[in-house]
Every structure is written in structure tokens, then in C-alpha cells.
């Protein structure tokens, strides 16, 4: 795996982008370097909160993440806005799951990633985060964008 990471790093062209899919539908893309994002015009668009995007915080839907009490105790913004879903964090050009509910919380224990070799897969929540490191900024702007 280490050899593949060196190869990926040497062949990277452009920024790294996180592509977030929920229930097999692309809902959000985030530039991990600049925190610019694109919300896709899907039935889930109203379940995505980007108010704290400049801090690297994004809230997205999750199939089994419904009890938010643990997050509300430590996240005033989520509590005040009654956000229900998964909390993502982009920090140091890597993306991670900060809060979710799943058996044994396996989604939260996955390491932050900026590599297409290490996607974040949260099957109970039907959420998958893939990272693309070979996109130009022109390729980042998709066709069906909401914001």
C-alpha cells in the first residue's frame, strides 16, 4: 500500500476532491485544499448543510444516523439548527467522518483521507466518500449543480 501511495503522490495533478455519494447518488463534491464545494441538485439537497464550509465542516444525510444527542452535546451549531445526519470534517487537506451512528461506529474510526486508495465507506449509512487527485479545476465543476 505504501508503494501505491508514493506512486499516487508522484502522479497527482491538480487538487484533491472528495466526492460524497449517498444512497448511490452523488450529492456533494469538496475541494480538500480550498474548501470550495458543489452541492448537486438531488432530492437530498435540503439535507446538506454547508453553513460552516469555511471551517471545513459539512453535514450530510445518513440512513441510520438519526439520534443526534451525542453530537448536540459538543456541537452547538448542530444543536441550534437541529441538524440530523453525518458530520464531515475537512482539515489539513484530508476528509474524515466526525459524527455518525452505525454498528460499532466503524465509519468514525476510519482515518482521515486524501487518497483515492483509501475511500471512506459507511455502509450502514449508505454514504461513500471517494477522493480524486487527478482532476483539474475545470473538471471539478459538474453539470447538475445547485450551489
Which letter does DSSP use for residue 11 in this model? H
The CATH number of the domain covering residues in 15-131: 2.60.320.10
Domain ranges of the chain: 15-131
CA nearest neighbour of 119 among 111, 129, 106, 105: 129
Residues facing 37 on adjacent strands? 30
3 state DSSP class of 76: helix
pLDDT digits (tens, 9 = 90+) for 60-86: 999 999 999 999 999 999 999 999 999
Q: Which residues contact 18 (CB under 8 A, 6 or more apart)?
A: 28, 29, 30, 32, 90, 95, 129, 130, 131
Kindly report the pTM of this predicted structure.
0.83
The pLDDT, as a whole number, for residue 107 is 83
Amino acid at each position: 500500500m505504501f508503494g501505491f501511495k508514493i506512486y499516487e503522490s508522484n502522479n497527482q495533478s491538480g487538487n484533491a476532491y472528495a466526492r460524497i455519494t449517498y444512497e448511490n447518488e452523488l450529492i456533494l463534491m469538496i475541494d480538500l485544499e480550498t474548501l470550495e464545494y458543489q452541492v448537486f441538485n438531488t432530492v437530498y439537497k435540503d439535507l446538506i448543510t454547508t453553513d460552516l464550509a469555511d471551517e471545513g465542516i459539512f453535514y450530510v444525510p445518513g440512513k441510520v444516523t438519526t439520534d443526534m444527542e451525542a453530537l448536540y452535546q459538543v456541537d452547538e451549531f448542530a444543536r441550534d439548527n437541529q441538524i440530523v445526519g453525518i458530520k464531515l470534517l475537512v482539515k489539513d487537506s484530508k476528509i474524515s467522518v466526525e459524527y455518525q451512528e452505525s454498528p460499532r461506529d466503524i465509519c468514525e474510526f476510519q482515518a482521515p483521507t486524501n487518497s483515492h486508495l483509501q475511500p471512506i465507506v459507511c455502509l450502514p449509512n449508505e454514504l461513500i466518500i471517494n477522493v480524486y487527485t487527478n482532476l483539474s479545476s475545470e473538471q471539478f465543476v459538474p453539470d447538475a449543480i445547485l450551489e
